[in-house]
Amino acid sequence: YRSLTKHDIRNEFKQGQFKEKYSDYEINNNKKNGDEFISTYEDINEKNINVLDNYMKDYKKRYSKKKWLGKLDCYCEKRIFDKIDHIQNIAEKLQKNKKFNKNKIPRKYIYGLIILGSIPFFGLVIPAFFNDYNPLIKNWCFEGCTSLHDKKGTDISADDAHQQLGLTRTAIDKDTWNIITTANSVFLYVSTVIVLFVLIYVLRKVIKYSCLKDGKRKMCAKAYFDFIKKL
């Protein structure tokens, strides 16, 4: 009976040692896995950053190989990437330091985009003001107008007809007005195309910057959808 009891005690003692060793092994293994995970994450993050950094460092090399529009595209891309870096640095300072002056946020970029987007609307001023529904100009007439404006009478002159109808001759004749409206239409269409092109171009470069920062060297359709989802 005593030998059986000693045998049980030895078994329990060995099991306790085994559990303790296994527990220590599990803790060390988890710690090791955690360290490996952190190390792997840091390596991936560092590689992603290196992709963007290497791309930025190769600017002069890329620029020297480009021609004409390629050089312009390369130059504009670098300017956009530099502005994005500047904005992100300010955003990081805002997150880390609550006392950081928010007035240092580059609002000029926001104002610049607003002004750029509003340029085509200047082409709508003339059509919006000079239309048949504006009561302010319903009594205006072109300079040198010889029309009687349905004023009956064979002995009445154009000047008398305008005076009797309360019409005011402006300082612009019809030919000059046609030139103004044509130029305004050209400005409206051209400015709209330019603004849309610039906005789309900037958006593509922002997406490209995001892809490079994530370690992706090539852009694809999926990158556009992923970027839109983040907005």
Q: What is the pLDDT of residue 42?
A: 47
Whether residue 66 contacts residue 73, with contact meaning beta carbons closer than 8 Å, is answered with: yes
DSSP per residue, 170-223: -S--HHHHHHHHHHHHHHHHHHHHHHHHHHHHHHHHHHHHHHHHTT--S--HHH
pLDDT of residue 224: 65
Those residues whose C-beta lies under 8 Å from the C-beta of residue 213, and which sit 6 or more positions away, are 48, 49, 51, 52
Rounded CA-CA distance 198/215 in Å is 26
Q: What pLDDT score does 194 carry?
A: 94
Check residue 141 and give its pLDDT: 86
- Give which of 206, 228, 209, 229 is closest to 109, Cα–Cα: 206
Give the pLDDT score at 103: 54
Kindly give the confidence (pLDDT) of every residue in the chain, 231 residues in length, as a single tens digit, with 9 standing for 90 and above.
444 454 454 555 455 554 555 455 455 555 454 444 444 444 445 555 578 888 888 888 888 888 888 999 999 999 999 988 888 887 777 777 666 555 555 677 778 888 888 999 999 999 888 887 888 888 888 888 877 777 666 577 878 877 788 888 888 888 889 999 999 999 999 999 999 999 999 988 988 888 888 777 666 666 666 666 665
How do beta strands 168-169 and 140-141 pair?
parallel
pLDDT of residue 66: 86
Q: Are 219 and 203 in contact (CB under 8 A)?
A: no
Using an 8 Å Cβ cutoff, are 184 and 123 in contact?
yes
Q: For residue 106, give the 3-state DSSP assignment.
A: coil
Question: What is the pLDDT at residue 221?
Answer: 64
Upper half-sphere CA count for residue 195 (Cβ side, 13 Å): 17
